C-alpha cells in the first residue's frame, strides 16, 4: 500500500533578471549589494553560470564590488604601488600606445591586480587601471565627513564631505566605515568622521574615501 504524506512542495519559480541572462531578480538584487557578487551567493553547482554577472561585477559602477575595488586600488596606488616600469607600461596603455608584451613580467604584474587585461592578444588598460593612475596623481588630504544615514539592507551609508560638496551626499560601503572606525552602524547617523579624500574629484563616482576615523565626540547638533 502506498503511503501519502500530503502534497509535494514545489518551490515557486523565481523571476529572471531583466538586466542579465544568468540570474534571478532576487540574486542580482542581493549580489549588487554584496562584495561577494552573485557568484559568491550561489551554490557551487551554479557558480559557473552566474560568474561574471554584470549586475554585481567589479566593472559595473556603484555595485558593492565596484565600491570596494575603488578603495582597494586607491590604497594600492598610495601605499603599495607597482614598480615604476610597470606604471610606465600602464600609462602607455592609457595613452593607447603600443607596449612590448615580452616585457619581463610587467604585464602579468598589472593583470594580476586588475589594472590591465588582454583583449585577444592585445593588452589594454581597465577602468580600475585608470582609477589607479588617477589616485597616483590625485591630491589627497584629511576631510571632515558627516554620516547622513545608513541603509542596513544595502550595507551602505550616505555621507557628505565638507571639503568636496557639502550638500551632495555620496555613498560609502557601511562595512568600510564600521571596519575603519570600530563604530557600530547604529552610532553612525549624524556622526562626524575624518577621512582621507581626493577633494578635487569631478564627480561622486570619482571621490574615494580612505582611512576613516571618528573625530572628537563625533556628533552634530542637527541629527542627535
Query: pLDDT per residue over 171-205, tens digit each?
Result: 999 999 999 999 999 999 999 999 999 999 999 99
pLDDT tens track for 85-119: 999 999 999 999 988 776 678 999 999 999 999 99
Structural contact between residues 180 and 147, judged by C-beta atoms closer than 8 angstroms: no
What's the pLDDT score for residue 149? 98
Q: How many CA atoms lie within 13 A of 135 on its CB side?
A: 29
Read off the C-alpha cell for 117.
587585461
Structural contact between residues 17 and 25, judged by C-beta atoms closer than 8 angstroms: yes
In angstroms, the CA 194 to CA 221 distance is 17
Domains located in the chain, CATH noted: 21-57 (no CATH), 66-137 (no CATH), 141-223 (2.40.50.140)
What's the pLDDT score for residue 100? 79
pLDDT tens track for 8-22: 544 456 799 999 999
In angstroms, the CA 151 to CA 121 distance is 43
Q: What is the pTM of this model?
A: 0.88
Q: Is the dihedral of CA 203, 204, 210, 215 positive or negative?
A: positive
In angstroms, the CA 190 to CA 39 distance is 35
Structural contact between residues 128 and 73, judged by C-beta atoms closer than 8 angstroms: yes
Alpha-carbon distance values, 68 to 61, 151, 205, 219 (Å):
11, 17, 12, 26
Q: Is the dihedral of CA 162, 167, 169, 175 positive or negative?
A: positive
Which band of pLDDT confidence, cut at 50, 70 and 90, is reported for residue 217?
low
Read off the C-alpha cell for 116.
590591465
| Number of CB atoms found within 10 A of residue 8's CB | 5
- Closest by Cα among 206, 129, 219, 47 to 37: 47
Amino acid at each position: 500500500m502506498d503511503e501519502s504524506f500530503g502534497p509535494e512542495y514545489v518551490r515557486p519559480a523565481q523571476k529572471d533578471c531583466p538586466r542579465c541572462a544568468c540570474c534571478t531578480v532576487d540574486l542580482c538584487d542581493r549580489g549588487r549589494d554584496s562584495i561577494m557578487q552573485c557568484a559568491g551567493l550561489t551554490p557551487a553547482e551554479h557558480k559557473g553560470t552566474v560568474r561574471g554577472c554584470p549586475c554585481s561585477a567589479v566593472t559595473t559602477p556603484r555595485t558593492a564590488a565596484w565600491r570596494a575595488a575603488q578603495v582597494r586600488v586607491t590604497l594600492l596606488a598610495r601605499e603599495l604601488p607597482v614598480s615604476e616600469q610597470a606604471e610606465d607600461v600602464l600609462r602607455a596603455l592609457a595613452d593607447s600606445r603600443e607596449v612590448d608584451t615580452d616585457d619581463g613580467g610587467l604585464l602579468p604584474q598589472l593583470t594580476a591586480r586588475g589594472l590591465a587585461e588582454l583583449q585577444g592578444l592585445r593588452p589594454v588598460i581597465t577602468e580600475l587601471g585608470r582609477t589607479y593612475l588617477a589616485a597616483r596623481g590625485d591630491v589627497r588630504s584629511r576631510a571632515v565627513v558627516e554620516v547622513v544615514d545608513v541603509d542596513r539592507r544595502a550595507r551602505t551609508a550616505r555621507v557628505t564631505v565638507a571639503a568636496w560638496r557639502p550638500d551632495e551626499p555620496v555613498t560609502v560601503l557601511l562595512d568600510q566605515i564600521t571596519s575603519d572606525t570600530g563604530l557600530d552602524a547604529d552610532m553612525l547617523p549624524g556622526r562626524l568622521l575624518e577621512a582621507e579624500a581626493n577633494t578635487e574629484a569631478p564627480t561622486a563616482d570619482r571621490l574615494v574615501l580612505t582611512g576613516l576615523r571618528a573625530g572628537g565626540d563625533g556628533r552634530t547638533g542637527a541629527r542627535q
